[in-house]
Structure 1
Amino acid sequence: MISSIVRLPTVDSTNSWSLGWLRKATETQLQQELPKLVVAEQQTAGRGRHGKSWFAAEDGLACTLIVQATIELLSIAVGVALAEAIEMVAGPTSVQLKWPNDAWMNERKVAGVLIERHGEGAIRGESYFAIGIGCNLRQHPTLDQVEAGAVPPTSVAEATGKLISKDQILDTLAPHLLEVIEEVRNQPQDLLQRFESRNVLRGKTVVCRIGGRSVQGRCEGLQGDGSLLLRTNEGLLACNSGDVRQLRRHGSI
C-alpha cells in the first residue's frame, strides 16, 4: 500500500526530487511515509539511463516510487509490473519488454524506467530506491526529441486507440508495482518467465558492453540473476550493462 503521495505542478525530474527528499528525510519520515509516490503534472528535465534525456509530453505520466527493496531482480520486476499495468488499463493489448525494462508497443517504445539507489548502505539486504517511470499516454515525443538511433516512440493512445488518464494508469500501476516487487522474494522464477514472454530481444542479434568492450551476439534470454545471456563467438556471455542495442538489417543499429 502506498503510504504517501506528493503531487508536483512542475519539477525538473521526479527522480531528482525524490533523491533530494531521501537525503533530508528523518528516520521517522522513512518509516511513516514509505512507500512514497511522487507525481509530476509537468516534468521539464526527465532523465533516462546512462545520462540520456527522457522527453515526456505534458499529458504523459512522469512519476517516481520511493521504496525500500532489495536490488536483486528489481529492474526486471519493475519492467514486468509496468507492462502488466498498461495491459490491465488499456487492454486487450500486448506490451513487450526490451531488457532491462523499457516497455514497447507495436515495436516502438511507450515507456521507460530509471532506477536509482540512495546511498550505499543496506539494511537487512535492502536499500532505498527511487524508481522513475515515464509513459507516453496520448502524445509522444517527436523524432527530433529522441536520441539519434533510438527506437521511435509511440503512445498508449496511438497503439490502442484508447485515451488513458494519468490517474487511471496510476491507480493500477502503483499498487501493482509493490505487489511485483514483493514477488521477487517468493516467486523469482515466475517473474523471469513473465519477462521472457515479453522479451523483444530474444533470438535477435544485439550489441552491448561487456567488460568495457563492445560485444555482439544472439540473445538467448535471461539468466537467473536477470542478466541478458548472449551467444557470441567466445561462447555464452552475460550482459549487465543496461545499454543494449538490436543489430538491424544491413548492419545498422
Structure 2
Amino acid sequence: MIVSTVRLPSVDSTNTWALNWLRSATDEQLERELPKVVIADQQTAGRGRHGKSWFASDDGLACTLITNASPELLSIAVGVALAEAIEMVAGPTTVHLKWPNDVWMNGCKVAGILIERHGDASHESDAVFAIGIGCNLGKHPELDQISGGVPPTSILNATGRLISKDQLLDTLGLHLLEVIGEVAEQPNDVVQRFENRNVLRGQNVRCMIGGQTVEGVCDGLHRDGSLVLRTASGLQTCSSGEVQQVRSRPLG
C-alpha cells in the first residue's frame, strides 16, 4: 500500500523533488514513509530519459513513486503496470508499450516513464527508486515539442473518456506496487505481459549495442527484459538506450 502522499501545487519535476527529498531523508523517515507518492498539480520542467524533456498539459498526471525495489525487470514491470492501469480506468481499450519506457495508444505516445536510482548501486537489497510517470489525460503537447517524431495523444483522444488525475492515480499507485512485487514470484509472466503489448516486435529497428549502431528485426524480449534483435550476424540483445524504428530492408 502507499504509505504517504505529497501533493505539490507546482514543481519543476516530481522526480527531482523526490531525489532531493531522498538525499535529506533519515533512515527512520524512509522506514516510516515509503512507499511514497509525489504528485504535481503543475509540472514546469518534466524530465525524460537521456536528458530529454517531458512536456505535459496542466491536466495531465505527473507523479513519482518512491519505493524500495529490485532493479531486475523494474522498467518492464512499471510499463506493464501503467498500461494495465490505464485500461482499468479507461477501458475497454488496448494500451501498447514501446521498449523500454514509452506507453502508446493508437500508434501515438500517451505516457512516459523515468526511473532513477538513489544511493549506492552495490547494495541491491537496499535499492530505492524514484519512478516518474507522465501521462496525458485530456490535452496533449503539440507535435513540434516532441523529439523522435512519435505523435502525442491523450487518454481522452484515444478513448473519448476524460479521466482525472486522481482516478488514474488511485488505480495506478496500488497496481504499480503489485506488479513490482510480482516480478520476484512470476518474472516470466510479467515479461510476457509486456511482450503482449510490444509494438516493436517484428519491426525493423536501430539501437546501440556495445557502442555500435545495430539494425535488425525485433524478435521480442529476452527473459531478462532486454530487447532481442535478429540481425545479419545473428541474434543480439539491446539492454539500454533509445530504439528507433527504421524502414524495412532485407537483412544481409
1:83 deviates by 0.1
Which residue in 2 is equivalent to 1:48? 48
Could you say which residue in structure 1 is the equivalent of 2:136? Answer: 136
- Please state whether the residue corresponding to 1:199 is helix, strand or coil: coil
Aligned length: 249
Q: Secondary structure at the match of 1:129?
A: strand
Q: 5+ residue gaps in structure 2? A: none
Deviations 1:44-84 (A, max 9, x none): 00000111100000000000000000100000000000000
CA–CA separation in structure 2 for the residues paired with 1:126 and 1:204: 38
Give the residue type in structure 2 aligned to 1:61. L
For residue 242 of structure 2, what is the aligned residue in structure 1?
A: 243
The Cα shift of 1:23 comes to 0.3
Please tell me whether residue 206 in structure 1 is matched to residue 199 in structure 2.
Answer: no
Q: After TM superposition, list the pairs within 5 Å mapping 1:148-163 onto structure 2.
A: 149-163=148-162
The residue aligned with 1:58 is 58
Residue 224 of structure 1, CA deviation: 1.0
> Contact conserved, 1:71 with 1:126, CA < 8 A, in 2?
no
Structure 1 residue 233 displacement after superposition: 1.2
Tell me what 1:25 maps to: 25
Q: Distance in 1 between matches of 2:90 and 2:117?
A: 31
AA at the equivalent of 1:66: I
Which amino acid is the alignment partner of residue 6 of structure 1? V
Q: What is the root-mean-square deviation in Å for CA atoms of aligned residues?
A: 1.2
TM-score (norm 1): 0.96
Determine the C-alpha separation between the residues in 2 that align with 1:59 and 1:74: 27
Shift in Å, 1:5: 0.1
Using the TM superposition, give the Cα deviation of residue 145 of structure 1 relative to its aligned residue in structure 2, in angstroms: 1.2
The answer (yes or no) to whether the contact 1:138–1:156 under 8 Å persists in 2 is yes
Question: Deviations along 1:201-239, whole A, 9 cap, x unmatched?
Answer: 000000001111211010000001100000111210000
Structure 2 residue aligned with 1:4: 4
Distance in 2 (alpha carbons) for counterparts of 1:82 and 1:124: 24
Q: Which amino acid in the other structure matches residue 112 of structure 2?
A: G
Taking the aligned partners of 1:218 and 1:125, their CA distance within structure 2 comes to: 36
| Distance (whole Å) between structure 2 residues aligned to residue 98 and residue 124 of structure 1 | 27
Written as runs of structure 1 = structure 2, the 5 A alignment for 1:91-170 is 91-121=91-121, 123=123, 125-147=125-147, 149-170=148-169
Q: For structure 1, which runs of at least 5 residues remain unmatched after alignment?
A: none
SS at match of 1:97: strand
Q: Does 1:184 align with 2:183?
A: yes
Tell me if the contact between 1:5 and 1:36 (Cα under 8 Å) persists in the aligned partners.
yes
Equivalent pair of 1:102/1:111 in contact (CA under 8 Å): yes
Alpha-carbon distance between aligned partners in 2 of 1:151 and 1:212, rounded to the nearest angstrom: 25
Tell me if structure 2 keeps the 8 A contact 1:99–1:242.
Answer: no
3-state SS of paired residue (1:125): helix
CA drift of 1:143 comes to: 1.1
- SS class of match (1:42): coil
Shift of 1:120: 2.0
Query: Over residues 123-162 of structure 1, what are the superposed CA-to-partner deviations in whole Å (9 max), with x where a residue is unaligned?
Result: 5634010000000000000012111x32000000000000
1: CA distance between counterparts of 2:172 and 2:52?
A: 24
Describe the superposition over 1:154-213 as per-residue Cα deviations: whole angstroms up to 9, x where unpaired. Answer: 000000000000000000000000000000100001101100110000000000011112
- Give yes or no for contact 2:11–2:40 (8 Å, CA) kept in 1: yes
**Higher deviation after alignment, 232-241 or 27-36:** 232-241
Measured in 1, the distance between the counterparts of 2:39 and 2:157 equals 23
Task: Among all aligned residue pairs of Structure 1 and Structure 2, give the percentage whose two residues are the same amino acid.
Answer: 69
Q: Does the C-alpha gap of structure 1 residues 122 and 211 become closer, same or farther in structure 2, counting only changes over 3 Å?
A: closer
1:249 is displaced (CA, Å) by: 6.2
1:236 partner amino acid: L
- Give the match for residue 223 of structure 1: 222
